[in-house]
Amino acid sequence: MKKSFGRNFKAWALAALTVFSGASFISCDDEVDQENRYTFKGELISTYLTNNEDRFSNFIYILEKAKIGRDNAKSGSVLKTLSTYGSYTCFAPVNEAVEAYLQEQYEKWQQGERTGIHSPYLEDLSDSMALEIAKNHIIEKGYRTTEVSEGAFPQSTMNRRFTTVEFIPNEEGRVYPVLNNSARIVEQDLEKENGYVHVIDAALNPSNKNSHELLGGQPSFSLFSSAIMATGLDKLLSVYELEFKDENGNVTEYDGTLPGEKFSNKDGIPRRPEDYKQRFTLLAESNDLLADPTKNHLGISITTLEDLERLAAEWYGHEAPGEHNNPNNALYKFIAYHIIDRQLLYSSSTGCGGFIMENYDHMEFNSEVNLPTTFDRYDYFETMLPYTMIKVTKPFTNTTPYLPYGASQPNELKQEIVINYAQDMGTRCKNPDMKYYINVVVERLSTTKKRPGLEEFDQNAINGIIHSIDRILIYNEDEMVGNILHERMRWDSSSLFPELTNNNVRWFPQSQAEGKAGECFYLPKGFCSRLKTNNEQSKVFYLRPHKTSLNSYCTFMGDELLVAGKYDFQYRLPHVPTGNYEIRFGFSQNEARGVVQIYLDGKICGIPLSMLREDSRTKNIIGWYEEDAETPEETKKEGDKAMRNQGWMKGPASCHLTTEKNSMRECSDALRRIIGTFRLENGIDHWIRFKDVTEELPGKYNEFSQDYLEIVPTSVVNDPAKPEDRL
């Protein structure tokens, strides 16, 4: 292991690993809740640290100095928080690590950097800096390193920053987790009564640089970074703090207007998002990749902006040549397509927002049970090139060998995260020249660091994440229409709104102290720019993943976006290429769902739709039928056709509701409603609206819950050789 992964400390850095075991979790309040205290049988995190003061006295000083709450006179310290009921992850830097950190930050301050640390002495540390340092080292849920995939710890720290992790061998071949590209975990998974301690050899100090600044500090990304600057997209990548605007475009204070008792905690107040920020994912080609003439269809070595613009113009046109900051310029379009509108970590086991939902286990919802790996896993995300998106796939069904950069042994492609994965197991390509620019693999951080000059690569910016890719990424609409997006596209309703991912809402773990209220967030009007409520009665909630079953709640990814009250709301459809599409939405029948009128672009779509649960209606009107492993294939085909004739479909077979692998097709509550066939034009925003038209009933409180949205090219719907409706 290179010395840069942690300071070369004493022999304690090679301490033995410890035994692993489970954990529970809790959220930390602004002030320490005395009711959370109880008599512990074992050692607390706080007790462990104080019992080892000879190693952690500097860190203890910081934790005691760091006060949580608005009123410091009444606030408790972070150290007191670590003595409360619940579960935490504590990254504990040893004394030498804290001393080295203070000295390093002081020297940077002397050189003109705004580090906030004006002295190398601990006693000179300000209260605000002590709080920032403390929060960088605490996660409000206990995690073992065995629960973490390469990418990042599953939840952000108290400072709302994700802690990246990679697994690196040292000179002796022993593998250590390395955090934030700097701190090595030298003693891991020390189980305490209220969580886990991981001893680290350097203090955690995530970068405060924005995405383009962080990339620009890496010489081996110099060409891509120069292109960002030349196009002016560095200004976009500088955005972090957002102005909160209401649906009329007026700037307002983000106060999370409260909806009353619905999903409220013991004080009658529901949880609300704590942040309102913009974050990005930046996909970047390294200099060595661009310089390799075998990696592009022109067979040229790309080493200058002119070379890069020449390649881009082959696909994006020759308008405004040389005017790199013109949105119609090919280089501008090339870079914009590399920027995604939300922060996506390597996988969703690494927090509330990975490329692919993977290894998520919470509230009896387990992604590897509910989304079996016998099916590919995928999602779609819009980019900053207007009206375009990328497809992201974890191709679990593809065992093709794949050799990562710098590796001696191949993996299988099914282990990788692939952008714009082509049809037919990733083999088909409509345009022969596009074979260079599809099936683009997102590289793990450990792979990126094998590229020339990227040994010190830091991907964790304050407003997003940077990933290197193994091929040049190009958008071509013909390839999208005829190949990559020539399929049933399905979005979980919560993935339609980047604000949920960017502000630690989606998949955020529940606190035991919150009770049922901890399962949800209330989203104030205007929080999601692509969602509008048309009356004051519509209250929008996000519900975290929770248990699914055949006889109760059925869901695609476990979570819900629920609109309660006499609802009338609309959201913008994802930007798909121009074409004819069948639009459907999936939902779980329920007595509270009500009767809804659907509109597309202001036009009524059919008669009002009842979403109420009623067995006789489900079987007699909708035409749902029971099936099992013994049901003949012909019976299934006839039954599915009869349902489609009524505008209905069963839930997908690719989603399992129980550990017995019962799929959503077997649940009469899990349905898909076909809204209709429509012409969607690229370059135009299309809005779908849902309005409650249920007859007024005293005391009734309707809830609209859309599980997922499907947009399917009619050529796919009408292809009998490849029926997609089962999946």
The arithmetic mean of pLDDT across residues 436-456, rounded, is: 94
Q: In this structure, which CATH number among 3.40.50.920, 3.30.420.40, 2.30.180.10, 3.40.50.360 belongs to the domain 3-200?
A: 2.30.180.10
DSSP labels for 131-184? HHHHHHTEESS---GGG--TEE-SS-BTTS---EEEEEE-TTS-EEEEETTTEE
Confidence of residue 364 (pLDDT cuts 50, 70, 90): confident
Residue ranges of domains in the chain: 3-200, 280-341+383-484, 491-717
Among 12-26, 177-191, 580-594, the range with the most confident prediction by mean pLDDT is 177-191
One-letter amino acid for residue 6 of the chain: G
Token reading at 36: 């959370």
Q: What confidence score (pLDDT) does residue 656 get? A: 87
**491-717 is classed in which CATH architecture?**
Sandwich (2.60)
Q: Is the pLDDT of residue 306 over 50?
A: yes
Asked whether this chain's domains 3-200 and 491-717 adopt the same fold, the reply is no
Token reading at 377: 């896993």
**For the stretch 502-515, what's the b/e string if a residue is b when 16 or more beta carbons lie within 10 angstroms of its beta carbon?**
bbbbbbbbbbebbe
Q: Is the pLDDT of residue 12 over 70?
A: no
Confidence of residue 33 (pLDDT cuts 50, 70, 90): very low
Q: How far apart are the first and last CA of the chain?
A: 45
Of the two residues 216 and 358, the one the predictor is more confident about is 216
What is d(CA 426, CA 683) in angstroms, rounded to the nearest whole number? 28
Among 174-178, 392-396, 549-553, 557-561, the range with the most confident prediction by mean pLDDT is 392-396
The arithmetic mean of pLDDT across residues 554-580, rounded, is: 92
Number of H helices, E strands in the chain: 19, 36
Q: Is the pLDDT of residue 35 over 50?
A: no
Out of 222-236, 545-559, 573-587, 660-674, least confident range: 545-559
DSSP labels for 612-669? ---HHHIIIII------TTS-HHHHHHHHHHHHHTTEEEPPTT-B-STT--BGGG-TT
The arithmetic mean of pLDDT across residues 500-521, rounded, is: 68
Strands of 520-523's sheet in order across: 520-523, 539-543, 560-564, 703-706
Q: What is the mean pLDDT of the chain?
A: 86
Percent of the chain with pLDDT over 90: 61
DSSP labels for 497-514? -HHHHHTT-TTPPPPGGG
Q: Is the pLDDT of residue 78 over 50?
A: yes
Phi then psi for 32, rounded to 5 degrees?
A: -65, 125
CA-based nearest residue to 473, from 289, 707, 678, 696: 289
What is d(CA 23, CA 84) in angstroms, rounded to the nearest whole number? 14
pLDDT digits (tens, 9 = 90+) for 133-187: 999 999 988 999 988 878 888 888 999 888 988 888 877 878 889 999 899 999 9
Among 132-146, 341-355, 585-599, the range with the most confident prediction by mean pLDDT is 132-146
Q: Is the pLDDT of residue 41 over 70?
A: no
The arithmetic mean of pLDDT across residues 657-677, rounded, is: 89
Q: Is the pLDDT of residue 248 over 90?
A: no
CA-based nearest residue to 151, from 354, 361, 341: 354
Per DSSP, 481 falls in state I
One-letter amino acid for residue 127 of the chain: D
